[in-house]
Structure 1
Amino acid sequence: MSTIHDFKVDDWLRRLLPGRCAFCLAACETTAPWCSACHAALPWNLAACPVCAEPQLGGHRCGHCLRRMPAFEAARVPLRYEGELAVLMRRFKFQASPRAGSLLLALLEEALREAPRPEALLAVPLHPHRARQRGFDQARWLAERLSTRLDIPLVVAQRRRDTPSQRGLDRQRRGRNLRAAFRVEAALPSEVALLDDVMTTGATLDALARACRRAGAERIEAWAVARTPMTN
């Protein structure tokens, strides 16, 4: 859960270097925490599959989605997991850096500014055992703040099994690893969005989307900050 301390940290970060870019410390032209040059240089995921956001040329539906549609209709993932963005994400995910998290949240919020608002937002949950080990749930951290800023109700999903790490698994093994891994006990509204920090093959978000459909959701979008290239 969010705490008063969390929001004080966010306020402190905004006041730390007012008017200075968080990446290069140059003067900012707007109230955003970045200058236009650094913002333009980020690895934007512009030509991506409209369903799973796989980075590719042309922005057409990718071969994986043509062969098998995921349980969500569309993905909104504004950045690619590379370069400066990957460094920032690792600091957030593995070091619980509030500075990195606040920047990533601001970038995601900017990218979603014109997106239709769903009726509920669900973060990809960690299993309680994994959450205790790590001590930080990055998707929940992002979702709590995004829920407040975009005025979208937050619904909590549960991870039923402490699944092995997805790292190093191919697309098919990731899907098997996550079969029936999630549960949503609350009855969901028709339109929901699912949130994770990084989307790799989309298997985790696909598995959570299936649990959401069982709970009544009809249109589901997958949201994440960054997308890695698709693996086979």
Structure 2
Amino acid sequence: MHGVDGWLRRALPGRCVFCLASLPGEAPWCAACFAGLPWNRPACDGCGEPQPSTQAGFRCGRCLRRPPAFDRARVPLRYTNEVAGLVQRFKFEASPRAGSLLLELLMTGLTPDAPAWPEALVAVPLHPRRARERGFDQALWLSRRLARRLGCPLVRAVRLRDTPSQRGLDRGERRSNLRAAFGVSAGLPGRVALVDDVMTTGATLEALAVACRRAGAREAEAWAVARTPLHDR
């Protein structure tokens, strides 16, 4: 498969990254494991919230009542099972193997029109103190490689406030916690995609979308690898 990091192939030559079965082609996974991943389908086109099959193709009631600050969400997977394990190894252990696999899954899960859509990418930034403590900025890592794959610039946003942890907060509390938390230099192009590893309620990406619109973006999409199902929050 074009674009998979070369070292990932070397680490597991000819083997599925999930089950270690022999592979006949270039893809890093077998067809059975790929089909069995927790794909986020159907999902709300507005916020990426997983939806029941009867709601396929419709926006959820929350987006109809209060549309998010971004125009749509592209989040191909659900944060559960194998995907949750990959994200945790990437985020907290800085595993480049897990990160490369998540990047490939994101690219594979995007609709055909998506790669040519953004004129720039904007990564969800960590506060400098949090980045120093963790020693790794997962959204920036993903965004740099994604920007190279798509051939578009990466614009750096800044976190203006070291906001308290979002863990345990509901949607409204998360929005309040992140109000005016981000800054982006003026002069953004018209179409930007905002990039994070996991989307929980969407509050972080909403706050960044607001900052991007103030900096000149007319349209903003939220891109993440995985969406946390409502019952898992």
Same fold (TM over 0.5): yes
- 1:1-232 alignment to 2 at 5 Å? 10-57=5-52, 58-59=55-56, 60-112=58-110, 114=112, 115=114, 116-230=116-230
Q: Is 2:186–2:214's contact at 8 Å kept on the other side of the alignment?
A: no
Q: Distance in 2 between matches of 1:217 and 1:29?
A: 44
TM-score (norm 2): 0.92
Contact 2:186 2:216 in 1 (8 A): no
Distance in 1 of aligned mates of 2:145 and 2:199: 19
Q: Secondary structure at the match of 2:222?
A: strand
**Is contact 1:121-1:143 (8 Å) kept?**
yes
TM-score relative to the length of structure 1: 0.93
The range that moved more, 28-37 or 189-198, is: 28-37
Helix, strand or coil at the partner of 2:28: coil
Give SS of 1:192's match: strand
Consecutive aligned runs of 4 or more in structure 1 exceeding 4 Å deviation: none
**Quick check: 2:125–2:159 contact (8 Å CA) kept in 1?**
yes
For the 8 Å contact 1:28–1:36, the answer to whether it is kept is no
Aligned Cα RMSD in Å?
1.3
| In 2, Cα distance between equivalents of 1:29 and 1:77 | 28
Q: Cα deviations across residues 147-193 of structure 1 (Å, max 9, x unaligned)?
A: 00111210000100000111110000000000000000141011010
Q: C-alpha separation between the residues in 2 aligned to 1:29 and 1:110? A: 19
AA at the equivalent of 1:124: V
> Partners in 2 of 1:126 and 1:142 — Cα distance?
13
Does the CA contact (< 8 Å) of 1:121 and 1:152 recur in 2?
yes
In structure 2, list runs of 5 or more residues that go unmatched. none
Q: Describe the superposition over 1:114-140 as per-residue Cα deviations: whole angstroms up to 9, x where unpaired.
A: 124210000000000110011100000
Does the aligned pair in 2 maintain the 1:29–1:36 contact within 8 Å?
no
Pairwise CA distance, 1:16: 1.7
- Taking every aligned residue pair, what percent have the same amino acid on both sides? 69
Aligned twin of 1:3: none
Partner SS, residue 86 of structure 2: helix
CA distance in 2, matches of 1:150, 1:224: 15
Secondary structure, in 3 states, of the residue corresponding to 1:27?
A: coil
- 1:75 is paired with a residue whose SS is strand
CA contact 2:195–2:224 (8 Å) conserved in 1: yes
Which runs of 5 or more residues in structure 1 are unaligned?
1-9
Number of matched pairs: 223
For residues 113 and 144 of structure 1, the distance between their equivalents in structure 2, rounded to whole angstroms, comes to 20
